Chain A
Amino acid sequence: MTNTRKGKCAKYFEVALYPVIATCLALLVGVIIMLVTGHNPVDAYLALFEGAFGSSVAIAETLSRSTPLFLTGLAVAFAFKCGLFNIGVEGQLHVGAMAAAVVGCYLTGLPAIAHIPLTLLAAAVVAGIWAGVPGYLKARFRTHEVINTIMMNHIAIALVSYLVVHVFRAPGVIPRTSTILPSAQLYRFIEFSRLNIGLFMAMIALYLIYYLLWKTNVGYEIRAVGHNDKAAECAGINVKRNIVMAMVISGMLGGLAGAERIMGLHLSFIQGFSPGYGFEGIAVALLGRNHPLGILFSAILFGALANGGFRMSMATAVPTDLATVIQAVVVFFVAAEQLAKLFIKRRKKGRLAE
Chain B
Amino acid sequence: MEQILEMVNIVKTFPGVVANNKVSFEVRKREIHALVGENGAGKTTLMNILYGLYKPDGGDIIIAGEKTSIDSPIVAIEKGIGLVAQHFMLIEPLTVAENIILGLETRKNKIFTDMRKANQKVKELSELYGLEVDPTARIMDISVGVQQRVEILKILYREAQILILDEPTAVLTPQETKELYKVLFSLKEMGKSVVFITHKLNEVMDISDRVTVLRGGKAIGTVNTSETDATQLASMMVGREVLMRVKKEGKKLGEAVLELRKVSAVDSRKLPALKNVSLEIRAGEILGIAGVQGNGQTELVEVLTGLRKATSGEVMLKGDSIINKNSRSIRELRVAHIPEDRNKRGLILDYDVADNLILGPHYKPPFTYRGKRNLQNVWQNARNLIAEFDIRTPSYDTKAETLSGGNQQKIVVARELGGDISLLVVSQPTRGLDIGTIEFIHKRILELRDKGVAILLVSAELTEIMSLSDRIAVMYDGNIVGILQDEEAKEEQIGMMMTGISKVDALRGEESD
Contact = CB atoms under 8 A, between A and B. Distances in A.
Chains A and B are bound partners: yes
Given A215-B372, A217-B371, A353-B55, A236 B348 contact: no
Interface in A191-237: 215-218, 220-221, 223-224, 227-228, 230-237
Interface in A65-111: none
Interface string A18-30: 0000000000000
Given A220-B373, A234-B339, A227 B349 contact: yes
A142 B339 CA distance: 24
Nearest to B356: A231
Contacts of A338: none
Interface in B46-60: 54-55
A4 B326 CA distance: 38
Nearest to A219: B373
Given A216-B371, A218-B371, A352-B14, A231 B345 contact: yes
A216 to B, nearest CB: 5
Nearest to B337: A234
A218 B368 CA distance: 10
Interface residues of B, number: 35
B418 to A, nearest CB: 14
**Best-buried of B331, B351, B396 by chain A (most CB within 10 Å):** B351
Given A217-B371, A217-B373, A353-B54, A227 B351 contact: yes
Interface in B291-344: 305-307, 326-328, 330-331, 337, 339, 344
A228 B55 contact: no
B355 interface: yes
Interface stretch (B255-263, B278-286, B357-365): B357-365
A227 B350 contact: yes
Interface string B461-474: 00000000000000
Contacts of B345: 230-231, 234
A114 interface: no
A238 interface: yes
Contact of B360 (A1, A217, A230, A236): A236
Interface string A316-346: 0000000000000000000000000000000
A233 B55 contact: no
Contacts of B373: 215-217, 220
B355 to A, nearest CB: 7
A118 B328 CA distance: 37
Nearest to A4: B397
A224 B348 contact: yes
Interface in B171-198: none
Interface in A277-300: none
Nearest to A349: B54
DSSP class of B's interface residues: helix, strand, loop or mixed? Answer: loop
Contacts of B54: 353
B402 interface: no
A231 B362 CA distance: 13
Interface string B358-387: 011011000110011100000000000000
A352 to B, nearest CB: 7
Nearest to B383: A1
B362 A220 contact: yes
B346 interface: yes
Nearest to A218: B371
Given A234-B339, A236-B360, A216 B372 contact: yes
B347 interface: yes
Nearest to B339: A234
B477 to A, nearest CB: 25
Given A217-B373, A220-B373, A230 B328 contact: no
B425 to A, nearest CB: 11
Interface residues of A, number: 24
Contacts of A237: 328
A353 B372 CA distance: 48
Contact of A232 (B305, B326, B348, B395): B348
Nearest to B342: A231
A60 B14 CA distance: 52
A212 to B, nearest CB: 10
Nearest to B397: A4
DSSP class of A's interface residues: helix, strand, loop or mixed? Answer: helix
A238 B326 contact: yes
A94 to B, nearest CB: 32
B105 to A, nearest CB: 29
Contacts of B355: 220
A220 B54 CA distance: 39
Given A217-B363, A224-B348, A353-B55, A236 B372 contact: no
A234 B15 CA distance: 36
**Best-buried of A218, A235, A352, A353 by chain B (most CB within 10 Å):** A235
A224 B306 CA distance: 18
Contact of B395 (A1, A218, A353): A1
Given A218-B371, A236-B327, A227 B348 contact: yes
B326 A231 contact: no
Contacts of A238: 326, 328
Contacts of A220: 355, 362, 368, 373
Nearest to B71: A353
B359 A224 contact: yes
A194 B242 CA distance: 76
A235 B371 contact: no
Contacts of B359: 224, 231, 235
Nearest to B379: A1
Interface in A222-264: 223-224, 227-228, 230-238
Nearest to B331: A236
A234 B345 CA distance: 6
A233 B307 contact: yes
A335 to B, nearest CB: 20
A349 to B, nearest CB: 9
B48 to A, nearest CB: 11
Contact of A230 (B330, B344, B397): B344
Nearest to A226: B350
Interface string B61-105: 000000000000000000000000000000000000000000000
Contacts of A354: 55
Given A216-B372, A231-B359, A236 B326 contact: yes
Contacts of B15: 352
15 contacts: A1-B395, A1-B397, A217-B362, A217-B368, A221-B363, A227-B348, A227-B351, A228-B348, A228-B350, A230-B344, A231-B344, A232-B348, A233-B327, A234-B337, A236-B328
Closest CB pairs A-B (n = 10): A236-B328, A353-B55, A217-B368, A235-B359, A227-B350, A234-B345, A236-B327, A235-B360, A228-B348, A227-B348
Given A217-B362, A234-B346, 16 more contacts: A215-B373, A216-B371, A216-B373, A217-B371, A217-B372, A221-B363, A223-B351, A228-B347, A230-B345, A231-B344, A231-B346, A231-B348, A234-B339, A235-B360, A236-B328, A353-B54
